[in-house]
Structure 1
Amino acid sequence: MDLVRRYSNHPEVAADLVASLKALHAERGRVEVGRVNITSTGRAPSRGRVVDKLSDEQVSALIGEFHAGTIRKELAAKYGISLSSVTRLLRKHGARLSDQST
């Protein structure tokens, strides 16, 4: 209802907003009269954690390839994860990142 309150100086717009909210709730099968709370974290739905995407063998292979000289960008592309995820995995497993560029 904060949105409605912001348009309270424009009764024709506020009335349309209230009617739209009521119609929306009616279509969802629940009619609520009163305050409407809409919350958002501002984040996209999670696509999963890196630990869920890569097996232990893949993580070991990624670390081995890094130690063999493969750069992080190539590892990210090869394993389908972000550059920051590669960096986090390498740090977690004690790899020295300062020896190579991205």
Structure 2
Amino acid sequence: VLGQDFVRTARAKGAPRPAVLVRHALRNALLPIVTTIGLQFGTLLGGAVLTETVFAWPGVGRLLVDSIGSRDYPVVQGVVLMLSGSFIMINLVTDLVYAYVDPRIRYS
């Protein structure tokens, strides 16, 4: 990113180096990172269920598996609601951060 034309143009206009790094380079470098973090959260939730079951650790994933096994449907519904709600909230936060970082998204 530091070799891109917009970074060189900002430096040529006399912008200080920290301002160029934060306002131009960092914002453009954060776009793929923010996207990846948002997408990996679903994998994290699924991995927690698997990890807690395999290693017999107490947690939400283990609670879900045990509740399915004992046919405790209200608990299954509650856990699924909580996990899906947290996934939706993380995706919302990811979209808001993405819109904050990339000004092209704000105006479209």
TM-score, normalised relative to structure 1: 0.33
- More helix, by proportion: 2
Structure of larger gyration radius: 1
TM-score, normalised relative to structure 2: 0.32
Q: With CA pairs under 8 Å and 6+ residues apart, which has the higher RCO, 1 or 2?
A: 2
